[in-house]
Amino acid sequence: MSVNIVLPTLSAWAASRLTGILESKTQDDFNTAFNATFAAQCSFTVNGKSISRDEYQAQVLQDSAAGFDESGTVVNIEGQTQVQVGNQGQLSGLVGLFYTALSDSKFLVLGAPTERRATSSLNLVIEPTEKSPPNPLHIRGYFDPRRVTCVNQVVAESTYHVTIPHASVPKGTTTENSTSKVELGPGPLKISSNDLGPFGGRFGPGPVRLPPGRFGGVRIFPRVKWGPSPRHCLGMVNLV
C-alpha cells in the first residue's frame, strides 16, 4: 500500500532551513545547507540594497556558527507567517520570519566571550525550482523541490554584551556596588630620618639618646625606691 508523503509547511520548511544554516559548525555544512535552501538564480535585498548571491552567502556565513570569530550560534524564531500561492499547495508561497540570532565569539574580553545579538525580519518567496531525480533515491524518503527564489531582509544593528565571570568578582561583593576606589595592600614601612624622634620611631620604643646640652653629658644610673608597693627600679638623671 502506497502512502502519500506530506511535505512540511512552507513556514516550517523555511524556519528549519534557516536554523540549519546559521547553526552549522563547519563551512562545508554551511555551504551544503545554503545551497539546499536558496536557488541558483535567487535575488537578494538586504536593508533596501540589492546584493549578489555570493555577497549574501558571505554575510550569512559571518553571522553563523561556522564563521571565523564565532564559537556558536542559537536561532530563536519569534514569529512566522505564510501565504500559499497558486494551486500547488505547500510547494509555492510566501513566508515571513522574525528571528533573533545569538552568537558567542571565540575571543575573550575580561575572561568571558562576547555575545552578539542580531534581530531580523526575513521575507521569502518559495517555489519548486528543482526537478525530481530520474532514478529512485537509494534512501527512502521524499524529494523536496522547494527553493527560495527571492529574499527581502531587514537586519537590525547587532549589539555586544560582555559578561564578567563570577570567579572574577571577589567574595562578598557584587558588580552593582563595586567602585573605582583603589585600596593599597600592606607593604614594608619606610621611615625617613626626619620622622625619627628621640626615642626612635614615633610609634615605637628605641634607645634613649639625649643630645648633649649646655650642661654637658647625661648619665643615667638606677636608684631603688621603697614603698608599700613592690619594689620599683627607677632611673635618676645626673647632669655632668
Cα–Cα dist 100/116, whole Å: 10
How do residues 26-44 score in pLDDT, each as one tens digit? 999 999 999 999 999 999 9
Q: Confidence class of residue 143 from pLDDT cuts 50, 70 and 90?
A: confident
Q: Confidence class of residue 156 from pLDDT cuts 50, 70 and 90?
A: confident
Q: Which residue has the higher pLDDT, 153 or 202?
A: 153
Structure pTM?
Answer: 0.61
**pLDDT confidence of residue 113:** 63
Contact yes or no for 92/126 (Cβ under 8 A): yes
Q: Confidence class of residue 74 from pLDDT cuts 50, 70 and 90?
A: confident
* Residue 56, pLDDT above cutoff 70: yes
DSSP SS3 for 196: coil
Rounded to an integer, the average pLDDT of 198-206 is: 54
Task: Kindly report the number of other CB atoms within 10 A of residue 60's CB atom.
Answer: 22
Domain boundaries, the chain: 10-134+141-167
**pLDDT confidence of residue 182:** 46
Strand runs labelled E in the chain: 38-46, 49-51, 70-84, 93-109, 112-128, 146-155, 159-162, 218-225, 232-239
* Residue 89, pLDDT above cutoff 70: yes
Q: What is the CATH number of domain 10-134+141-167?
A: 3.10.450.50
**pLDDT confidence of residue 103:** 79
Q: Confidence class of residue 180 from pLDDT cuts 50, 70 and 90?
A: very low
Give the DSSP per-residue string, 79-139: EEEEEE-TTSGGGSEEEEEEEEEEEEEEEEETTEEEEEEEEEEEEEEEEE-SPPPSSPPSS
Rounded to an integer, the average pLDDT of 168-181 is: 52
Tell me which range, 111-125, 135-149, 213-227, is most confidently predicted by mean pLDDT. 111-125
* Residue 234, pLDDT above cutoff 60: no
* Residue 215, pLDDT above cutoff 70: no
Nearest alpha-carbon partner for 99 in 58, 30, 154, 55 = 154
What cell does 180 get?
Answer: 573605582
Q: Confidence class of residue 71 from pLDDT cuts 50, 70 and 90?
A: low
Q: Which residues, in sequence order, are CB contacts of 11 under 8 Å at separation 6+? A: 80, 81, 82, 95, 97
